[in-house]
Amino acid sequence: MSVRRPLHRGRVVVLAGGVGAARLLRGLAPRMAPGRLTVIVNTADDDVFHGLNVSPDVDTILYTLSGLSDPLRGWGIDGDTFAALGALGRYGEDTWFQLGDRDLATHLFRTRHLREGRTLGEVTAMQARALGVRVRVLPMSDQPVRTVVETSGGRRSFQEYLVRDRAREAVRSISYAGIRAARPSAGVVAAIAEADAIVFAPSNPFVSIGPILAVPGIRQALRRAQAPVVAISPLIGGRPVKGPADRMMRAHGLPPSPLALAEIYADLLSGLVVDTSDRAFAARLEARGVAVAHLDILMRSPMRAAAVGDAALRLAASLQRRRGRLAG
């Protein structure tokens, strides 16, 4: 199977967090006809470090789609060095959030253009063009939204919770500061309305997909969309490939399983792609009106990621045909 052959001609919108979404897109993007893929990216884990605006999920998607990303970590630039960070440390600055020397250029560029009055959407488009990314990458919003995690130890910014404290503290609640004033960035609502398939990447439903859905106007746009919404599970046998999604589900009183995803995305979801090890949930999901496809969803290689993306788009196409028959 060649991952270079464009297979999908419809318009596809992917809602994306960071590393899990980037892995999917590494396989899916080469399968898409040019100009047909739009990615709406979470910006609620953005933050300011050393006076610079950092948008980790936007960066992870851009670095992955341009072939720059560090394949092992999943974030940052492959082969980057950390001399500037070391020098900042000598001034006594906090250096737990590791900004590489080359990565710093991305944040310097973003910060300057935001200060000069450009929107995050405009700056992201400039960066995508400069890096040769052909996929349309849209931040969920131009307005600042920040995930706040209330933990057993107190209130944390998302990066403090995840990176500084290594997600060790028990999560009590999660909120999105600034969400009421946020609006979908330019192109987001239209892309959803015009899509033939909408895919939720295998990203954390509370801190990656959740903030995107909470931007006023986005959930409504998804409910109105003609296209079916298909999610790819971030869980395999009740455990996330990366990150604290399972613990966050438990904190919300939901045992970590595909059923919890159906519950969280209830009003939106038409289909769910799960791992073969979770296929026993299919009957209960189907009974709730969620169509299921199952395969090995661990994306060890671009080839496996292409297979997962294909499964999601095939499931979406079958749902569209079913809807067409019902409408007809």
CB of 169 to ligand FO1, least distance (A): 15
Name the nearest CA neighbour of 19 among 66, 55, 80, 64.
64
Among 7, 78, 88, 98, binds ligand FO1 (CB under 6 A): 98
CB of 112 to ligand FO1, least distance (A): 17
- Residue 75 binds ligand FO1, judged by CB under 6 A: yes
Q: Is 118 exposed, middle or buried (0-12, 13-18, 19+ CB in 10 A)?
A: middle
Residue whose CB is less far from ligand FO1, 208 or 270: 208
- Residue 175 binds ligand FO1, judged by CB under 6 A: no
Place of tokens 């990203």: 203
Q: Which of the 8 DSSP states describes residue 163?
A: I
The footprint of ligand FO1 on this chain (CB under 6 A) covers a number of residues equal to: 18
Interacting positions 196-215 with ligand FO1 (CB under 6 A) = none
Q: At what angle do helices 120-130 and 101-115 cross, to 10 degrees?
A: 140
- Residue 80 binds ligand FO1, judged by CB under 6 A: no
Binding mask 140-169 for ligand FO1 (x = CB under 6 A): -------------------x--xx------
CB of 98 to ligand FO1, least distance (A): 3
Among 43, 57, 206, 311, binds ligand FO1 (CB under 6 A): 57
Tell me if 108 sits within 8 A of 39, measured CB to CB. no
- Residue 76 binds ligand FO1, judged by CB under 6 A: yes
- Residue 234 binds ligand FO1, judged by CB under 6 A: no
What is the number of the residue whose Cβ is closest to ligand FO1? 18
CB of 323 to ligand FO1, least distance (A): 33
CB of 208 to ligand FO1, least distance (A): 6
CB of 38 to ligand FO1, least distance (A): 19
CB of 328 to ligand FO1, least distance (A): 42
Interacting positions 26-55 with ligand FO1 (CB under 6 A) = 45, 54
- Residue 104 binds ligand FO1, judged by CB under 6 A: no
Residue whose CB is less far from ligand FO1, 93 or 194: 93
Residues near 46 by beta carbon (within 8 Å), at least 6 away in sequence = 53, 54, 55, 56, 58, 144, 145, 146
Tell me if 61 sits within 8 A of 41, measured CB to CB. yes
Residue whose CB is less far from ligand FO1, 142 or 160: 160
Radius of gyration of the chain (CA): 19
Q: In this structure, what token pair is assigned to residue 154?
A: 């107190």
CB of 74 to ligand FO1, least distance (A): 7
Among 27, 56, 139, 271, binds ligand FO1 (CB under 6 A): 56
DSSP bridge partners of 16: 41
CB of 292 to ligand FO1, least distance (A): 26
* Part of the chain binding ligand FO1 (CB under 6 A), chosen from 26-34, 96-104, 145-153, 252-260: 96-104
Q: Which residues bind ligand FO1 (CB under 6 A)?
A: 17-19, 45, 54, 56-57, 59-60, 75-76, 97-99, 103, 159, 162-163
